[in-house]
Amino acid sequence: MKQRLQERLASYRMRELPNGLVMPEAAVLMPFTDQDEPDLILTVRSSSMPTHAGEVAFPGGMRDKTDKDLLATALRESHEEVGLPERAVEVLGQLSPVPSLHGMKVTPFVGMVDPSAKLRPEPREIADIFKVPLSFFLDSKPQLSQEVEMFGKRFYMPSYEFDGNRIWGLTAFMLLDFLNHAFDTGIVYEIEEETIKEGSAT
């Protein structure tokens, strides 16, 4: 599996945010266990967090002045939030940055994680850590519900339900970008301009 992901991510084409858009930067790690049948590691944010309280998210956070780059941010935050040591992560690639509704430019990095790594939630930030088999996302289609608009484009909001947890929002957008590229899932969540015009004419 790791070799497949390395090969597919090597051909990934980055998409930047619109020119001139300046936003605070953050980074997250999309961590898969390094196994023949990988699990995706996700967190549930603490209910006391000022943003995205109680939501499912990848480990990560805002870039610090001491971080040499965004990858350093993703690895540092992963260690702080779930106790994942940098030495236990093999980074396979970077995905396109995604703007959050709270005005952040969030860049995801895909990594394979030693399955024996001991994870522990930082209680002030993380309420829970759970794993979802990659096969679940490959065998399931997300629900595409409410529409959201970002920078002149409109999207259906994707979400998955797994073991009582709702995986949606920015996390789901990044996950679908990964699945579409690495596994050709072909999940369409951007509303084409022609569709918008046809809908407004009826």
Q: How far apart are CA 38 and CA 121, in angstroms?
A: 21
- Range of the structural domain that residue 101 is part of: 2-201
**pLDDT, tens digit, for every residue of 78-120?**
999 999 999 999 999 999 999 887 788 999 999 999 999 999 9
For residue 25, what is the domain's CATH number?
A: 3.90.79.10
Q: How far apart are CA 43 and CA 143, in angstroms?
A: 20
Number of residues in the chain: 202
**pLDDT, tens digit, for every residue of 171-193?**
999 999 999 999 999 999 988 75
Strands 98-99 and 60-62: unpaired
Claim: this prediction has a pTM higher than 0.75: yes
Question: What share of the chain has pLDDT > 70, as a percent?
Answer: 91
Q: What is the total count of domains within the chain?
A: 1
